[in-house]
Amino acid sequence: MNAKKLYADYGPAALVTGASDGIGEAFARELAEAGFDLVLCARRADRLERLANALSNEHGVSVESLALDLSEPSSADMIAAAVQRKDVGLFVGAAGFGTSGSVLDIDEADELAMIDLNCRALAQQSLRLAKHMVQRGRGGVVLMSSLLAFQGVAHAANYAATKAFVQGLAEGLRIELKPKGVDVIACAPGPVRSGFAARADMQMGGAVPAKAIPRPTLRALGKRTTARPGFLTKLLSYSLATLPRGARSSILTDAMDKMTRHQDAKG
């Protein structure tokens, strides 16, 4: 990744949601190192503040932290104000969570909350940021999709559906906004070592570290529709791509069964 070019194309500031850990934190660290001022959003104020202070001290950048529940519609107005203050030119929408398990045992409130955060809130943020970036004449948007976005997957049906929404949103926005100077990319990784698996109650094997996600994604921004960071992600993506959709669903359902098998013992 050419940090100087990235900053020239999308600076001076970036907004990262879900920044308190995992992939969001990894993007925040990568962008601070590239010289971006930052607006960091997440629910956990203590972790967010520690990260903001660390990045400011290490890289000499200005970091504003917003402790927000992004599923609350009012959070969009607070983000919009920060975007104007910092002149944000790059948006990384990494906030979100997943669930797993039998559809017969799921918590309906959790599933609806996931749709609200992964889809509604992200769409609201993306649409507002798109208008801001078009007005300033340039910008970049990174939306977190998933390997599961390209087919239905049992035992994670709702989560996979939310990521299909994100993938479709990124693809459509890319076509529409590219002529107006705004680049959009979907990042669709496979298993990643972060807090995601614990919250989703999944046991992942072969996961890549979260810090492996930002650099190849940012390198591909403006060049490709979808980034697939990590060797395992590329291997799985391209081997599955040649199969019918139903076959892909069956293969990934088998993989999901293995990652959630421990849940049977709890029941």
Q: Establish how many alpha carbons lie within 13 A of residue 196's alpha carbon, considering only the half-sphere containing its beta carbon.
A: 27
The burial class, CB within 10 Å (0-12 / 13-18 / 19+), for 190 is buried
> Would you call 234 a catalytic residue per the annotation?
no
Residue entry with tokens 């994100």? 166
For tokens 């069956």, the residue is: 250
159 is catalytic: yes
**Structure tokens that stand for 8 in this block:** 């020239």
CA gap 165, 121 in Å, rounded: 12
Angle at Cα 239 formed by Cα 235 and Cα 244, nearest 5°?
Answer: 150
Q: Active-site residue among 4, 7, 131, 159?
A: 159
Measured between alpha carbons, how far is residue 10 from residues 19, 144, 190 in Å? 19, 18, 27
The Cα–Cα gap between 222 and 48 comes to 29
Q: Which of 131, 163, 234, 266 is catalytic?
A: 163
Query: Catalytic residue numbers?
Result: 159, 163
